[in-house]
Each structure stands twice: as structure tokens, then as C-alpha cells.
């Protein structure tokens, strides 16, 4: 195949991979993964993801982002963003996207309107950074799909990946019209809850992800980028396509959305 797999959303800089990273990377490349779009959740991860790109320049494509659940929003999340701001600009040439950013309105994460407002402030600031740096965004939208998509379109965002999307099919179609893409991790194989969604989204708007170390086939076992073939096969099954077709088209989609990743 001309393309291998592209894991469009993973946390390879996570602590869970520190002890056996080389083994994990070996399994990743053996599984045919060509690119890891490596997202961050907090400013403390930024150096780590750049070090990983130095160590694996043909594989790791770094993103910077402040996750909506960083310190559950509020002043600490805004403080983290303030510390991150100069780093976005300092390392702009190395970044392939701004992420993981977004909104999480699950009740235990955003119990009050103030929590939601705080998340929105940090989200919009990072969307503006992405526009200024001409970078796509890698998006978290749990229990907030509609408002996340609406906010991005209002802010004029053209290039976005909605990772582990679990919104309504009708909401997904609004994102398709806006030109946004979606990615699905191995966890979708656990049940048929996303089948209707996957069938409805055109393949040209779908990418693959693992979200490793989370969202694997078994929620109690560490997920790895090498498991990306599980997502590929499941999407192929739901759509009635060959895994080879899904692998090729999703990789093409990924490099179209993250053009700087191809240079990594």
C-alpha cells in the first residue's frame, strides 16, 4: 500500500508509556502505523512530545493543546493556557495541529454554567491561535457536540478533527457540511452504538485513531497505537468496504487535514 495507518489522535507522551516506550513504538511500526498525531492535555506535556519527535522524527507529529478537563476548567485551566501561549508561537513550525482542545459538558466535569463558560473561554482562545498559526484543530466534544461544532463554525474554523465523536448523526452532518472530519478509536468495536453514525458519515470525512492509552477494546487494558487496525476493520465492516480501502482513504484524509504531518 502507498499509505500505512495514521493514528490521528493518541497520547504517546502519556506516563503510561514511559517504562516501555521503545517496545510500544516497535509494535506501532510493525503494525504498519506511519504517523502518530500526538496530542497533549497540559503545558507540562509540551516538552515531552517535542522530545518524542526528536527521537522518532519519521513517526511522531506533535500537537500542543490544553484539554477542557485540565484542572476541571476554571482559573487553573486559564493559567495553564497563559503559560502555554508563548510556546505555541515558539514551536509553531514543528506543530501539525492545535489539540487536544474542546468542550466537555458531562455533569461531573462541568456541573455549573460557570464551568462551561470557563471551558468556552479557553476553547475559543485556542481556536484563534490555530487560525493565526494556520493549523487544524484536534477536538474533544464530550456531551457538547452541537455547541462545539457551532462554536467552531462561528469562529470560522475550516479544518478540524472531531475525535471519538459520539454526537447525534444529524449533528455530525452539520460538521460534514462544515468540512470537518471524524475519527473513531478501537472502543467503538465494543458495541454497535456508533454504527448508525459511522454509516452516515462519508468515508472521505473519516480518520482512524486509538486515543491510546485510553479507549481500547478492553477498557481495563492499556491501549496502544498498534491497535489501530481494530478501528479500521470495524469501520470497514459497518460500511461494507474492504479494510484496505478504509486504510488508504483514511490515511489520505489524515494527510489532507494535517498536511505538515506528511513532512514528519
pLDDT at 108: 87
Judge whether residue 74 has pLDDT over 50: yes
Q: pLDDT tens across 205-235, in order?
A: 999 999 999 999 998 999 999 999 999 999 9
Q: pLDDT tens across 124-144, in order?
A: 999 999 999 999 999 999 999
pLDDT at 263: 61
CATH number for position 86? 3.20.20.140
CA quadruple 97, 100, 104, 109: dihedral, nearest 10: -160
Judge whether residue 2 has pLDDT over 60: no
- Model confidence band, residue 113 (pLDDT cutoffs 50, 70, 90): very high
Cα gap 166→145, rounded to integer Å: 8
Work out whether the CA dihedral 92, 95, 100, 103 comes out positive or negative. positive
Of the candidates 112, 108, 168, 156, the residue with the CA atom closest to the CA atom of residue 132: 156
How many domains does one find in the chain?
A: 1
β-bridge mates for residue 138, sequence order: 99, 161
Q: What are phi and psi of 94, to 5 degrees?
A: -90, -20
Residue owning grid cell 476548567:
73
pLDDT at 78: 78
Of the candidates 97, 85, 84, 92, the residue with the CA atom closest to the CA atom of residue 159: 97
Q: pLDDT tens across 246-260, in order?
A: 999 999 999 999 999
Interval 161-186 mean pLDDT: 97
Domain containing 176 equals 5-263
Judge whether residue 103 has pLDDT over 70: yes
pLDDT at 39: 98
Residue owning grid cell 463558560:
117
Give the predicted TM-score (pTM) of the model: 0.95
Cα gap 184→171, rounded to integer Å: 16
Q: Are 92 and 260 in contact (CB under 8 A)?
A: no
Amino acid at each position: 500500500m502507498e499509505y500505512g495507518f495514521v493514528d490521528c489522535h493518541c497520547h504517546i507522551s502519556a506516563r503510561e508509556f514511559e517504562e516501555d516506550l521503545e517496545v510500544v513504538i516497535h509494535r506501532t511500526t510493525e503494525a504498519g502505523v506511519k504517523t502518530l498525531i500526538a496530542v497533549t492535555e497540559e503545558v507540562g506535556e509540551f516538552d515531552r512530545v517535542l522530545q518524542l519527535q526528536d527521537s522518532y522524527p519519521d513517526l511522531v507529529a506533535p500537537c500542543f493543546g490544553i484539554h477542557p478537563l485540565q484542572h476541571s476548567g476554571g482559573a487553573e485551566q486559564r493559567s495553564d493556557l497563559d503559560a502555554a501561549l508563548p510556546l505555541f508561537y515558539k514551536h509553531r513550525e514543528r506543530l501539525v495541529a492545535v489539540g487536544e482542545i474542546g468542550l466537555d459538558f458531562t455533569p461531573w466535569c462541568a456541573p455549573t454554567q460557570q464551568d462551561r463558560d470557563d471551558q468556552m473561554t479557553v476553547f475559543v482562545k485556542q481556536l484563534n491561535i490555530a487560525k493565526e498559526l494556520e493549523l487544524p484543530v484536534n477536538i474533544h466534544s464530550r456531551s457538547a457536540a452541537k455547541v462545539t461544532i457551532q462554536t467552531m463554525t462561528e469562529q470560522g474554523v475550516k479544518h478540524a478533527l472531531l475525535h471519538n465523536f459520539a454526537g447525534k448523526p444529524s449533528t455530525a452532518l452539520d460538521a460534514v457540511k462544515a468540512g470537518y472530519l471524524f475519527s473513531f478509536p478501537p472502543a467503538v468495536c465494543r458495541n454497535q452504538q456508533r454504527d448508525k453514525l459511522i454509516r452516515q458519515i462519508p468515508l472521505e470525512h473519516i480518520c482512524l485513531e486509538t486515543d491510546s492509552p485510553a479507549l481500547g477494546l478492553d477498557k481495563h487494558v492499556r491501549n496502544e497505537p498498534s491497535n489501530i487496525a481494530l478501528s479500521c476493520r470495524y469501520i470497514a465492516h459497518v460500511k461494507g468496504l474492504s479494510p484496505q480501502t478504509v486504510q488508504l482513504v483514511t490515511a489520505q484524509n489524515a494527510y489532507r487535514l494535517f498536511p505538515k504531518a506528511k513532512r514528519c
